Chain A
Amino acid sequence: MKKLLVLSGKGGTGKTTVAAAFIDFSHARAFADCDVDAPNLHLVQSVDGPVERSDFSGSQKARVDSHLCVGCGRCVVHCRFDAIHLVGTKASVKEFACEGCGVCVEVCPAQAVSLAEDVSGTTTLYRGGRIFSTAELKMGRGNSGKLVSTVKRTLVDTVKRAGESSVPLCVIDGSPGIGCPVIASMSGVDLVLVVAEPSLSGLSDLRRLFDTATMFGTKMAVCINKFDISDGLTGSIEHFCEEHDVPFVGKIPYDRHAVAAVNAGVSLAYADCPASKALRTIYDRTMLLL
C-alpha cells in the first residue's frame, strides 16, 4: 500500500480540497485526516457504516491530594512549566500548563501528588465500505503529534486486517506548519504532495516545509493552487522546484466552484469546472511518482 500525504506549510491553501478530490479520483478505500487541530476532511467525504469512537489519552496530568499536601512548595520550585502553584497553603495544578512529566510526584515529601490519565482528544474510525481514520484534539491540548501517529497507525492496522492487497493507495490529509504534527505525519509516507499558494507567505512556508522534508528524507512533489492570483509568485515557486529538483505536478486556477463544493459537502472530483480538470491532471502526474 502506498501512502500519499498532502501538506501545505501555509494554512488554507487547499490541502483538504486536493485530498478530497484525490480520494474520489482514485476511489481510495482508505484515507485519514491528520489535521487533528482543525479536521475538515469528514465535511467533504461522507462515509457510511460502523463507526468506532474512542477517547485518546496522550499523556497524564498531575493531581494534588489536598489532605496530604503539606504546602512545602517543593513541587512549585521544581516545575519547569509553571504548572503548579500554592493557593493558600496547598499546591494546585494548572491543567493546561501541566505536561505530565512527574517531577512534582518525585519531589513531594508527602506523597500528595500523583499522575492521572488525561483525555486530550477523540479518535474516530469508520470501517464500512471505506476506511476513514480521523480525530479531534481537545481544545488547547498538546500531544497533537502523538494523536497524529495514532490516527495513522489506526488506518494502517485497519487496512492490514482488511487485507492490504485490496487497498493500493491511501490518502492522508495533513496539517499546516512544520512542527510536531507535521513531522509526526511525515514518517513512513511514500510521497508528500505540497499544495502551495502563490503569495510571499506561501513561498516562504514552502521553503521551510521543503527543508523539513529534506531533513527527514521524505520525497516531495509540489502543485500550486489559485495560481492566477500572482503570475510572478507562481513563477517563483516553479523556479524554486526546478532549482531543488522537486517534481512540479501542476497548477489549479482560482475557481468559485471550490467554495460551493465545500459548502455542499462534496469534493471537486465530479464537478465540471476548470479547477476539477486541473486537479485530474495533477492526480495523474502524482500517481506516476508513487
Chain B
Amino acid sequence: MKISVVSGKGGTGKTFVAVNLAVTAQDAVYMDCDVEEPNGRLFLKPNVTRELPVHILVPHIDSVRCTGCRKCVSFCRFNALAMVKGKPILFPEICHSCGGCSLVCPVGAISERPLQVGAVQLGYVGSGKETRPSLRIVTGVLSIGKVSAVPVVKATLDAGAALSYDDAQADVASQMVSVIDCPPGSGCSVLESVAGSDFCLMVVEPTAFGFHNFRMIEQIPKQLGIPCAVVINKDGEPYAPLEAYCAEHSVPILARIPYREDLTEILSEGTLAVKADRELARLFEQLLRAIVDGGEA
C-alpha cells in the first residue's frame, strides 16, 4: 500500500509524519519526493548504497550543419532556444526536454545529450548485518540551480517502486507499506507524487494559514479519486473552521498530534519521535492501522 503524505503549507510536519509512519511500519519503503529540500534522511540516517544520476535530454546543435533556418527556435514553446548571430543557442535551464527541436530540424543538426538535474540515493536503515533490511530509503535530490523537479520526483517514485517489489512476492508487495514524502505546495510535483498512491494523508496545522492551504491541497486526492484523511499536527486549541469543514465534507481526522514543548529540541536535532516517546509511538501505530484498515475497507 502506497501512502502519500502531503501538506499545502510548508513546515506543518509532513516529513515528521512520514518518517515516523515509515519507522512504525518497519517493513517499508520511504520515498522522499521533496527533492528541493529532502530531509527525511536527516531523521532516518540511512546507509546509502547507491546513487543514481537523474538526467533529462537537452539539444546539442551541430553548428557546422546548422543552416540557421530558425525552425527549432520558432518551434520551442518554452523559449529555450534563441537566435544569436544567425545560429540558435540553448538555455538548458528552461528546456523541457520535449525533443521537438531535433524533430523539426530539416538538416539533422540537432542531437540530444543528457544533462544531470539531480540524483536518487538508495539506502537502508540498519546495521547491514540483518538478513534483510527492514526499512528502505529512497531520496530524490534536485541539483542546485535546476528548476525541473518533476523528472527527479518521477525517478524517485520509480526507484521506490522497484525496491518494493524486489524481494517480495506479488501478494506480499501489495501489503507492504510505502510512504511517499511529498513536496509542499499544490503544484505539478505534488500531483506527480500523489498520483501513484493508494491513500493520501494530509498533514494540517490548526491555524488560519494551515486551513487555507489545506483547502487548496485537498482538491488533489479528490480529483484523482484517491481516498484521503487528515492528521492534525501541532494540535492545541482546536481551529473551529477546520473542524467544521472536515465534519461537513466527511474528511476523517485520523490523528491529532499534540504540540509537545518538551520534545521540540530533540526532534529538531533529528531524533525520531516514535523512538523518543511511548505515547507518540502508540499514536503512530494507531494511525498506521487506521490507514491500512481504512484503505482495505
A contact residues around B270 at 8 Å (CB): 199-200
Partner of B207, one of A99, A139, A205, A263: A263
Of the four ranges (under 10, 10 to 19, 20 to 34, 35 or more), the interface on chain A belongs to: 35 or more
Partner of B144, one of A38, A144, A178: A178
A136 within 8 A of B: yes
CB A264 to nearest CB in B, in angstroms, measures 8
A contact residues around B195 at 8 Å (CB): 96
B169 within 8 A of A: no
Q: List CB contacts (< 8 Å) of A158-191 with chain B.
A: 175-183
CB A45 to nearest CB in B, in angstroms, measures 12
B contact residues around A262 at 8 Å (CB): 207-209
Among B12, B205, B264, the most chain A Cβ lie within 10 Å of the Cβ of B264
A250 within 8 A of B: no
B134 within 8 A of A: no
Instruction: Flag if A43 contacts B37 (CB, 8 Å).
Output: no
The answer to whether residues A11 and B100 also contact, given A38-B185, A177-B36, A180-B149 and a CB cut-off of 8 A, is: no
Q: Please choose the segment from A64-72, A100-108, A240-248, A275-283 that sits at the chain B interface, where 4 or more of its residues have CB less than 8 A away.
A: A100-108
CB A197 to nearest CB in B, in angstroms, measures 8
A-B pairs under 8 A by CB, number: 186
A23–B6 alpha-carbon span in the complex (Å): 30
Instruction: Flag if B98 contacts A103 (CB, 8 Å).
Output: yes
Instruction: Flag if A212 contacts B144 (CB, 8 Å).
Output: yes
CB B51 to nearest CB in A, in angstroms, measures 17
Instruction: Flag if B187 contacts A142 (CB, 8 Å).
Output: yes
Question: Which A residue's beta carbon lies closest to that of B270?
Answer: A200
Instruction: Flag if B15 contacts A175 (CB, 8 Å).
Output: no
Question: Which A residue's beta carbon lies closest to that of B240?
Answer: A263
CB B13 to nearest CB in A, in angstroms, measures 8
Chain A 185-210, CB within 8 Å of chain B: the 1/0 string? 00000000000011111101100100
Partner of B145, one of A8, A12, A198, A216: A216
The answer to whether residues A176 and B37 also contact, given A99-B96, A101-B96 and a CB cut-off of 8 A, is: yes
State the 4 A-B residue pairs at the shortest beta-carbon distance, nearest first: A11-B10, A12-B11, A37-B185, A101-B98
Chain B residues proximal to chain A, CB less than 8 Å:
8-12, 15, 35-37, 39, 42-43, 75, 77-78, 96-100, 103-104, 142, 144-150, 183-188, 190-191, 195, 205, 207-209, 212-213, 216-217, 219-220, 223, 239, 264-265, 267-270
Chain A residues proximal to chain B, CB less than 8 Å:
8-13, 16, 37-38, 40, 43, 59-60, 78, 80-81, 96, 99-103, 106-107, 136-137, 139-142, 144-145, 175-183, 197-202, 204-205, 208, 211-212, 215-216, 229-230, 232-233, 254, 259, 262-263, 265
Q: A12-B12, A37-B184, A177-B184 are in contact. List 11 more A-B contacts (CB 8 A).
A: A13-B10, A37-B190, A37-B216, A40-B208, A139-B186, A140-B190, A142-B188, A208-B37, A208-B144, A215-B145, A259-B207
